[in-house]
Chain A
Amino acid sequence: SQTIHQWPATLVQPVGSPLSLECTVEGTSNPNLYWYRQAAGRGLQLLFYSVGIGQISSEVPQNLSASRPQDRQFILSSKKLLLSDSGFYLCAWSRGTEQYFGPGTRLTVT
């Protein structure tokens, strides 16, 4: 069966510090991968998606970036965090029309 992992589970970072969130998927190959952000009181916002290694599409202009160094690994990064980057970050994968989500990372920027 397929599983999706995210780490860390929670993170508190000061403004201006770098960020690296990791997502890995097990039990499938060549999945589509997604990064979403859920800010307090707001809906899920798609940030990035990838259909293959090294292929990244950005949905929202921001100070975040994503990379896919391996088939089942998706990384969300920032060089300098802003207060507005605080939120709940969710990674998801799909091979067909249904998406499956990871447990999420709670990021608080102070």
Chain B
Amino acid sequence: KQEVTQIPAALSVPEGENLVLNCSFTDSAIYNLQWFRQDPGKGLTSLLLIQSSQREQTSGRLNASLDKSSGRSTLYIAASQPGDSATYLCAVPGTGFQKLVFGTGTRLLVSP
């Protein structure tokens, strides 16, 4: 059974810092990994989808890496801004048809 863990559970940084969020999964036989952002009381916004054949995926100040063999992914946020404050979730496909297994998220607070 696939399990996803995210560390740290919460992170507080001053504006401008570069930061790394971690995601680990127990079953390395995945075909993709997805990073989401969730603002308080809102739905999830897809940030990046990284395929199993890829090592990295970039979107603006965000960079996601994937190391299938070690069961890890990282989300790198460059030059953090207060608007980046949110909960970040990673998810991988579980058993069955396109079902996702989510981590419990990292709550990020970027202070001005």
Contacts and interface: CB of A to CB of B under 8 A. Distances in A.
Interface size class of B (residues with CB under 8 A): 20 to 34
Nearest to B4: A43
A104 B99 CA distance: 18
A28 to B, nearest CB: 15
Contacts of B105: 43
Nearest to A96: B98
A98 B43 contact: no
A106 B32 contact: no
Contacts of B54: none
Most B C-beta atoms less than 10 A away, residue of A43, A46, A90, A92: A43
Interface stretch (B44-52, B66-74, B77-85): B44-52
Given A90-B43, A90-B44, A104-B43, A99 B100 contact: yes
Contacts of B102: 43-44
Interface of B: 31-32, 34, 36, 41-46, 49, 51, 89, 91, 93-94, 96-100, 102-105
